[in-house]
Structure 1
Amino acid sequence: MLAPSDTVRLLYVDDEPDFAATAAAFLERENDRFCVETALHAEDALERLAESSFDCIVSDYDMPGRDGIEFLEAVREEYPDLPLILFTGKGSEEVASDAISAGVTDYLQKEGGTDQYTLLANRVQNAVAARQSATEAKRRRHRLEQILKTVPSCVVQLDRDGQFVFANQRAVDVLGLSQSAVKDRAYNDPKWDIRDLDGNPIPDAELPFRQVLETGQPLADARHTIHWPDGTEKVLSVNGAPLFDEDGAVESMVCTLTDITDKRDRRQDLQETERRLQLALEASETGVWEWNYETDEVVLSDTLERLLGFEPGEFDGTLSAVFDLIHPEDCPEVREQIERAVETDSVYDSEFRVLDADGNVRWGSVRGQPLADDRTLMVGVHHDITEQKERERDLRIAERRLEAILENTTTPMFMKDDDGQYIFVNHGYREMTGLTDAEIVGRTDFELFPEETAETTWANDRAVLHTGEPLEVEERVVIDGEAQQYLSTKVPIYDTGERSDPDTPVAVFGIASDITDIREQERELQRERDRLAEFASVVSHDLRSPLSAAQGRLKLTRTTGDESHLEGIETALDRMERIIDDVLLLARQGRDIQEPEPVSLRDAVANAWEMVSQDAGDGTLGFADTVERDVTITADRPRLLQLLENLLRNSVEHGSTSRSTGIDDSAEHGSDEPRSQEQTAVDHGATSSQTKPEDTANGKSVTITIGVTEDGFYVADDGPGVSGANRGTLFEAGYSTDADGTGFGLAIVDRIAEAHGWSVDVTESADGGARFEITGVEFE
């Protein structure tokens, strides 16, 4: 049926302008969806058809130039599926017969009055609806073929000659040929050397495809052998089902092929195959009927009587009695078709429901034709197609279920045409993007996503369209400013229409799996691996020096007996213990924050200063004007205290110039030699490469200032500061300019800040010292 919103463009051809205009007006009044245009002769109509598209043509017969039949033949050459109704005042059996032979959609004779336009409008609507139904069926069938290409089973389609017209990749593998080679072969090609399980050749009529095509019945588990191109013998199990055209005739078949070479039991399989073939033959009964126009008597064959639920010879009636058996909803159409066949002396062909003697509803496919030598008789055949209709219904249900599955699955799925425009997205894809169908379908990625994302996806789509090969690729998609990583599987979709190239993809179907978390886990694992490698490198380097020193002192003690060397051993062991403790602490700081809470910055600084001032030397602590009032931040308190302690200790120990100073390059250059006195310097690198002699003499104490910035806080001192050359390696684990330092203090600071999502950097303070800035901090 036509949708209420459909507009039907109708071309009305008649050489009488007044009649054409009147007919057009009445048709548009009969159906407000009709938009009627008129043409006065066939040539004019053909030009209009070339310039525009129409849904249906209504044509007169007797016209100057080409008559209605000649016009019909010209239309059929260019537009074989376009409905054309012959609406003529010249009625004769000869005209009707010629029209039917030329492929007319319908034939209607002009009459007086306006009722004829109501009938004509109904015929137009039925013709357009039938064409739309056929087009929709073809589209659904094409979609089903596309799906079959991706299923794991072996699926092939054969035409009535047994030629392969479709084979999915799995079937190609089972048959041992390439895709092109399969399509060059027929099922009964001698190269297959098809034999039964006892090795006997199978006649052509007994081949599985031939049985299905001839009987119109499905076939299950038919087994035979074939020979691969390399001579290998294979055993196949074949399950086949017929495909019917619009007239109910078998036009092709679909079958699945299963390689059962390793499971064959020849004798048992042969018996089972024979049993199934016998059942299929028994199920292919055909009824015959005869109708006498003059007496209205109908005679049914025994088989047909049985199919209709009667005992042989029990039915004794007329055509009216037959109509009593036809479903009430189908009766008007059947009656009209029979009358038309009688009037035009043409073939009657129809499908309808019948109510058998027990009241059961069954489907029949009926075909009849008047006898050429007896114009009072029409004879025909009746096939019970109930199972076929049930299969078609099941197929429609399966298609709807498949569509429902595709639509409602949480995995994002989509289809784009060869211009990159979306033509289908499912619920999962809409959930992924946060957009509706109306916002996605008909648009491209360039209209929906940032340019970088669109460029990447478009390049991958083009690769599938150009090569015709599936593609599995990772794609970074930015949605609402947030980047997600997807593993996309994309396959080509082909159009098998008459005017299309079946080898050229016209669309891309894709499935996207969110692997953002997986990739983040992989990156985190790699970071952990890098840290372990870093720890191993640092430990192996920094422990070697004190270990070497301890071994040397121990040897001196043994050889000289001088126990003063034990103090050096103890010092080396203490340094090794500090390195190990700092390495463990550094490893712990790399974990995620577990319990962030509001923390007073003043209290945290005070607590950290109390710990530092006890054992790290002299210094003065103060707060900048920016923290006159208390400031609360969100942090893991114990780890925040560790960060502050390390920064304060760095300033106290290395801001003061009472120590000898220098630059320790051993961590940077990878030297394994013990540090000399000239190579020692302040721990963590927080010093300049030179000291102020007057400060060294005076033993200057450092002044430390704590301040708050717009998005964090800082720790600044008035010490020597950090030279630009040292700032790049300042936060590396193991880097130190102090012979007594472990080189992990500022690395721990960096890890703690990273775990909180903060950043740490060092600049020069207002007093020329070091200023460590922590940014990205969340304030309460």
Structure 2
Amino acid sequence: MLSTSDTVRLLHVDDEPDFAETAAAFLERENDRLQVETASSAEDALERLEASTFDCIVSDYDMPGRDGIEFLEAVREEYPDLPLILFTGKGSEEVASDAISAGVTDYLQKEGGTDQYTLLANRVQNAVEARQSATEAKRRRHRLEQILKTVPSCVVQLDRDGQFVFANQRAVDVLGLSQSAVKDRAYNDPEWEIRGLDGNPIPDAELPFRQVLESGQPLSDARHTIHWPDGTEKVLSVNGVPLFDDDGAVESVVCTLTDITDKRDRKQDLEETERRLQLALEASETGVWEWDYETNEVALGDTPERLMGFKPGEFDGTLSAVLDLIHPEDRAEVREQLKQAVETDDIYNGEFRVIDADGDVRWVSVRGQPIEDDDSTLMVGVHHDITERKERERDLRITERRLEAILENTTTPMFMKDDEGEYLFVNHGYREMTGLTDAEIVGRTDFELFPEETAEATWANDRAVLQTGQPLEVEERVVINGRAQQYLSTKVPIYDTGERSDPDTPVAVFGVASDITDIREQEQELQRERDRLAEFASVVSHDLRSPLSVAQGRLKLARTTDDESHLEGIESALDRMERIIDDVLLLARQGRDIQETEPVSFRDAVTDAWKMISQDAEDGNLVFADTDERDVTITADRPRLLQLLENLFRNSVEHGSTRSQSAVDSAVEHGSAESRSQGRTDVDHGATSSQTRPEDTANTGGVTITIGATEDGFYVADDGPGVSETERETLFEAGYSTDDDGTGFGLAIVDRIAEAHGWSVGVTESADGGARFEVTGVEFT
């Protein structure tokens, strides 16, 4: 990172001086460490680079002479590491591709406003910091190589593939190869003929460098043989430690190779190994230690001493003194593990916390191996500070727990299914949605939880995500407890990051479901309202035009002829227009959803509706299809039900044929053919097989209307002329009428009221040849 005192010299190249000056002012204001100089062309900029030193370049693309790419290529020839950001108003994939090929540091397109300068200032700072980091890393590597070259021990550095990237002169001597020949080889090169001390080949996974690379832990005194080019067999003792990158991953392995063919003294080997490791890893937190079983004395290297808060060589104590420095919660376990390692003569490997002299807690990884010599039994080992790794793991666990808590408790339904469709996880929102528990969902598939149609649709969407590896957003209809709900589901693939898994093949699907049932219902209702408005507009504009035209014509005649008889025609036309307007308003109101319903006596509703009709109807008779005293009760909005019945009665009266008095009397006395054929309704509704008409209606002529209940509703039938099959399809459309004086809205209102209740209405031929209107879907109580 740049310190607050660092000054960054920036050269801004742009053939528009005003823009360059403006950009310089904003950049210096955004970051007071930026010192911006400008150049108007690539040639001018190259001259400035020769005369002075800059930390970064920002260049336009479209400039006279050399363009931005050509300028970039020229800079790279002379200054290969100097950051250059292409900041251009002319952007395209081709320009970006050429810039990347030429080695551009960053690519940014000019935009309007001043926010672009904030972004540019950040890009400049990031580029300079990246260059400084790379330079510092290169400097550290060079310093390490210089140190290792002077170390009298055999030190090599291996990359992740086991290739030698560094070997000091001592390593060249031990390996029996030239410097160039060593770097051409890998640790597992067959020409080494690496074998264990038992003479058997060592598998690649068990080679010392591979163990350090895979475990991220140091390795001490691993022994094997190699063959020199002249066929001489050498015995090597290998100590390896990992080098980590900034992200905590093993970047490379540093090994010391000791030729122990002559079986030098083990204690001297330990001291020499410690010195070599200390020199090779002075910048690391890895060290060595030794514990003498007989005296219980512990010798610490400089690194563990520093970690414990001691100066180099200051610690002089026993194992008990070391255990006292271990965190109280870990002390008993470490003591037990050491005891077991001693009893079984096995390797000790553990992680625990220590408390330094300042009271700070740090995590360490310790590995020890028992060694016997002529005088005593020792355990020697390596030590590594893993505090940062543990803190990252802790932060990761905290983050995971937070995410789990968020996922679990959010009200939005979330779930995860494996590649077989079985649920692995559901959250609180999903359990609320289904009304099921974890035990009822996890381990089951949609086919076991939902209707087949729902399961087929959701599994098809899951398969699409698993097969393509692409996220999917789709609407899904889910039936829960018999109720259909609409969800907007977002599904993404989940991959297994394990070593044995295929990283390109999804193993699960994670989904988030948003309930959009209300939204879709509102959209449907809004569309219905739009359709009704369009219908109203069409009908009104059509049906009002004729009476309006009549009124205008009559008015003109009245004015030109002074004949007042034309005023009657105007009045008639205006009356008709008023009826049309009233019916349109009524149609609009009746089409709205029903808010409240109540139990309604069907017989009382029919009687009240007929009273309203019979006051205006000169002809017409109404009879019930049953006279049982037990009434039928339906659930409805009573005022709207009355309006529906009135319109059906009025339709039959207005369109029914005039009948003779004898026919009417016969219908009243014996019941119409419709009444006879529908002599009773569903017995569950308490109907009988006789007929009657309301007491308040005693008309003696005209059409006979029969009304009665059915299994799921009721009907209104008449003995009028009926409705032809071709007219039945358009009968309920607003504005349709076979009567020249009718508005055509009566049956449309019937249809709207039925729809608002959730009922259906249709028309067929009655038993008498007239019209029979059937209302179905009615709820009885």
Amino acid of the structure 1 residue aligned with 2:407: L
State the alpha-carbon separation in 2 of the partners of residues 741 and 362 from structure 1.
95
State the alpha-carbon separation in 1 of the partners of residues 475 and 370 from structure 2.
67
Amino acid of the structure 2 residue aligned with 1:393: R
The answer as to whether partners of 2:350 and 2:366 remain within 8 angstroms in 1 is: yes
In the TM superposition, residue 198 of structure 1 has moved relative to its aligned partner by: 7.8
- Where do residues 677-696 of structure 1 align in structure 2 (5 Å cutoff)? none
Whether 1:328 aligns to 2:259 is: no
1:618 is paired with a residue whose SS is: coil
Tell me: CA distance 1:354–1:201, structure 2 relative to 1, closer, same or farther (3 Å).
closer
State the alpha-carbon separation in 2 of the partners of residues 246 and 284 from structure 1.
13
Tell me: CA distance 1:702–1:199, structure 2 relative to 1, closer, same or farther (3 Å).
closer
In the TM superposition, residue 523 of structure 1 has moved relative to its aligned partner by: 0.5
- Where do residues 256-267 of structure 1 align in structure 2 (5 Å cutoff)? none
State the alpha-carbon separation in 1 of the partners of residues 374 and 466 from structure 2.
61
1:414 is paired with a residue whose SS is: strand
In the TM superposition, residue 298 of structure 1 has moved relative to its aligned partner by: 2.5
Amino acid of the structure 1 residue aligned with 2:574: L
Describe the superposition over 1:343-373 as per-residue Cα deviations: whole angstroms up to 9, x where unpaired.
Answer: 57x7x64322335568775432234578999
**Structure 1 range deviating more: 587-596 or 406-415:** 406-415
> Which stretches in structure 2 are left out of the alignment for 5+ residues?
1-91, 107-123, 146-212, 219-241, 249-280, 661-699
State the alpha-carbon separation in 1 of the partners of residues 721 and 442 from structure 2.
65
In the TM superposition, residue 296 of structure 1 has moved relative to its aligned partner by: 3.7
Tell me: CA distance 1:707–1:210, structure 2 relative to 1, closer, same or farther (3 Å).
farther
State the alpha-carbon separation in 2 of the partners of residues 735 and 628 from structure 1.
39
State the alpha-carbon separation in 2 of the partners of residues 432 and 336 from structure 1.
56
The answer as to whether partners of 2:367 and 2:383 remain within 8 angstroms in 1 is: yes
The answer as to whether partners of 1:617 and 1:653 remain within 8 angstroms in 2 is: no
Tell me: CA distance 1:208–1:425, structure 2 relative to 1, closer, same or farther (3 Å).
farther
State the alpha-carbon separation in 2 of the partners of residues 519 and 761 from structure 1.
27
Describe the superposition over 1:114-149 as per-residue Cα deviations: whole angstroms up to 9, x where unpaired.
Answer: xxxxxxxxxxxxxxxxxxxxxxxxxxxxxxxxxxxx
Amino acid of the structure 1 residue aligned with 2:320: S
2:720 is paired with a residue whose SS is: coil
In the TM superposition, residue 574 of structure 1 has moved relative to its aligned partner by: 0.7
In the TM superposition, residue 493 of structure 1 has moved relative to its aligned partner by: 1.4
State the alpha-carbon separation in 2 of the partners of residues 515 and 359 from structure 1.
57
1:339 is aligned, of 336, 339, 342, to 342
Amino acid of the structure 1 residue aligned with 2:752: R
Describe the superposition over 1:38-82 as per-residue Cα deviations: whole angstroms up to 9, x where unpaired.
Answer: xxxxxxxxxxxxxxxxxxxxxxxxxxxxxxxxxxxxxxxxxxxxx
The answer as to whether partners of 1:244 and 1:252 remain within 8 angstroms in 2 is: no
In the TM superposition, residue 742 of structure 1 has moved relative to its aligned partner by: 0.3
Tell me: CA distance 1:764–1:192, structure 2 relative to 1, closer, same or farther (3 Å).
same
- Where do residues 352-501 of structure 1 align in structure 2 (5 Å cutoff)? 352-356=352-356, 362-367=362-367, 382-501=383-502
In the TM superposition, residue 458 of structure 1 has moved relative to its aligned partner by: 2.2
- Seq. identity, %: 78
Amino acid of the structure 1 residue aligned with 2:561: T
State the alpha-carbon separation in 1 of the partners of residues 434 and 130 from structure 2.
60
State the alpha-carbon separation in 1 of the partners of residues 282 and 534 from structure 2.
77
In the TM superposition, residue 754 of structure 1 has moved relative to its aligned partner by: 1.3
Aligned position for 2:618: 617
Whether 1:765 aligns to 2:766 is: yes
In the TM superposition, residue 576 of structure 1 has moved relative to its aligned partner by: 0.6
State the alpha-carbon separation in 2 of the partners of residues 452 and 776 from structure 1.
25
Tell me: CA distance 1:383–1:191, structure 2 relative to 1, closer, same or farther (3 Å).
farther
Aligned position for 1:668: none
The answer as to whether partners of 1:643 and 1:749 remain within 8 angstroms in 2 is: yes
State the alpha-carbon separation in 1 of the partners of residues 288 and 622 from structure 2.
112
Describe the superposition over 1:259-296 as per-residue Cα deviations: whole angstroms up to 9, x where unpaired.
Answer: xxxxxxxxxxxxxxxxxxxxxx9997666645456644
State the alpha-carbon separation in 1 of the partners of residues 729 and 458 from structure 2.
38
State the alpha-carbon separation in 2 of the partners of residues 759 and 604 from structure 1.
19
In the TM superposition, residue 720 of structure 1 has moved relative to its aligned partner by: 1.5
- Where do residues 546-565 of structure 1 align in structure 2 (5 Å cutoff)? 546-565=547-566
Aligned position for 2:526: 525
Amino acid of the structure 2 residue aligned with 1:335: L
In the TM superposition, residue 503 of structure 1 has moved relative to its aligned partner by: 1.5
2:331 is paired with a residue whose SS is: coil
State the alpha-carbon separation in 2 of the partners of residues 450 and 543 from structure 1.
52
In the TM superposition, residue 486 of structure 1 has moved relative to its aligned partner by: 0.9
Tell me: CA distance 1:197–1:393, structure 2 relative to 1, closer, same or farther (3 Å).
closer
Amino acid of the structure 2 residue aligned with 1:475: E
State the alpha-carbon separation in 1 of the partners of residues 754 and 628 from structure 2.
21
- C-alpha RMSD of the superposition: 4.1
State the alpha-carbon separation in 1 of the partners of residues 514 and 546 from structure 2.
52
In the TM superposition, residue 769 of structure 1 has moved relative to its aligned partner by: 1.8
**Structure 1 range deviating more: 639-648 or 292-301:** 292-301
Aligned position for 1:582: 583
**Structure 1 range deviating more: 455-464 or 330-339:** 330-339
The answer as to whether partners of 1:247 and 1:349 remain within 8 angstroms in 2 is: no
State the alpha-carbon separation in 1 of the partners of residues 637 and 334 from structure 2.
83
In the TM superposition, residue 422 of structure 1 has moved relative to its aligned partner by: 2.6
In the TM superposition, residue 196 of structure 1 has moved relative to its aligned partner by: 5.1
Describe the superposition over 1:178-235 as per-residue Cα deviations: whole angstroms up to 9, x where unpaired.
Answer: xxx9xxx9xxx98759985289664365389999xx9xxxxxxxxxxxxxxxxxxxxx
Aligned position for 1:163: none
2:589 is paired with a residue whose SS is: helix
Amino acid of the structure 1 residue aligned with 2:631: D
**Structure 1 range deviating more: 297-306 or 508-517:** 297-306
Aligned position for 2:26: none
Higher gyration radius (CA): 2
The answer as to whether partners of 1:599 and 1:635 remain within 8 angstroms in 2 is: yes
State the alpha-carbon separation in 1 of the partners of residues 244 and 310 from structure 2.
32
1:642 is paired with a residue whose SS is: helix
State the alpha-carbon separation in 2 of the partners of residues 575 and 543 from structure 1.
8
State the alpha-carbon separation in 1 of the partners of residues 246 and 422 from structure 2.
34
Aligned position for 1:742: 743
Amino acid of the structure 2 residue aligned with 1:479: I
In the TM superposition, residue 748 of structure 1 has moved relative to its aligned partner by: 0.6
State the alpha-carbon separation in 2 of the partners of residues 545 and 487 from structure 1.
49
Tell me: CA distance 1:732–1:374, structure 2 relative to 1, closer, same or farther (3 Å).
farther
In the TM superposition, residue 657 of structure 1 has moved relative to its aligned partner by: 3.6
State the alpha-carbon separation in 1 of the partners of residues 708 and 385 from structure 2.
93
- Where do residues 3-42 of structure 1 align in structure 2 (5 Å cutoff)? none
The answer as to whether partners of 1:247 and 1:350 remain within 8 angstroms in 2 is: no
The answer as to whether partners of 1:297 and 1:318 remain within 8 angstroms in 2 is: yes
The answer as to whether partners of 2:721 and 2:771 remain within 8 angstroms in 1 is: yes
Amino acid of the structure 1 residue aligned with 2:366: V
Whether 1:308 aligns to 2:308 is: yes
In the TM superposition, residue 721 of structure 1 has moved relative to its aligned partner by: 1.6
Aligned position for 1:666: none
In the TM superposition, residue 476 of structure 1 has moved relative to its aligned partner by: 1.1
In the TM superposition, residue 515 of structure 1 has moved relative to its aligned partner by: 0.9
Amino acid of the structure 1 residue aligned with 2:746: G
The answer as to whether partners of 1:330 and 1:352 remain within 8 angstroms in 2 is: no
State the alpha-carbon separation in 2 of the partners of residues 612 and 197 from structure 1.
92
Amino acid of the structure 1 residue aligned with 2:444: R
After TM superposition, the score normalised by the length of structure 2 is 0.57
Amino acid of the structure 1 residue aligned with 2:354: V
The answer as to whether partners of 1:415 and 1:422 remain within 8 angstroms in 2 is: yes
Tell me: CA distance 1:293–1:609, structure 2 relative to 1, closer, same or farther (3 Å).
closer
Amino acid of the structure 1 residue aligned with 2:403: L
Aligned position for 2:166: none
State the alpha-carbon separation in 1 of the partners of residues 291 and 764 from structure 2.
107
In the TM superposition, residue 400 of structure 1 has moved relative to its aligned partner by: 2.7
1:206 is aligned, of 137, 154, 173, to 137
Describe the superposition over 1:148-203 as per-residue Cα deviations: whole angstroms up to 9, x where unpaired.
Answer: xxxxxxxxxxxxxxxxxxxxxxxxxxxx99xxx9xxx9xxx987599852896643
Describe the superposition over 1:7-37 as per-residue Cα deviations: whole angstroms up to 9, x where unpaired.
Answer: xxxxxxxxxxxxxxxxxxxxxxxxxxxxxxx
Tell me: CA distance 1:196–1:719, structure 2 relative to 1, closer, same or farther (3 Å).
closer
Aligned position for 2:350: 350
State the alpha-carbon separation in 2 of the partners of residues 254 and 753 from structure 1.
70
State the alpha-carbon separation in 1 of the partners of residues 556 and 652 from structure 2.
38
State the alpha-carbon separation in 2 of the partners of residues 321 and 393 from structure 1.
29
In the TM superposition, residue 465 of structure 1 has moved relative to its aligned partner by: 1.8
In the TM superposition, residue 300 of structure 1 has moved relative to its aligned partner by: 3.9
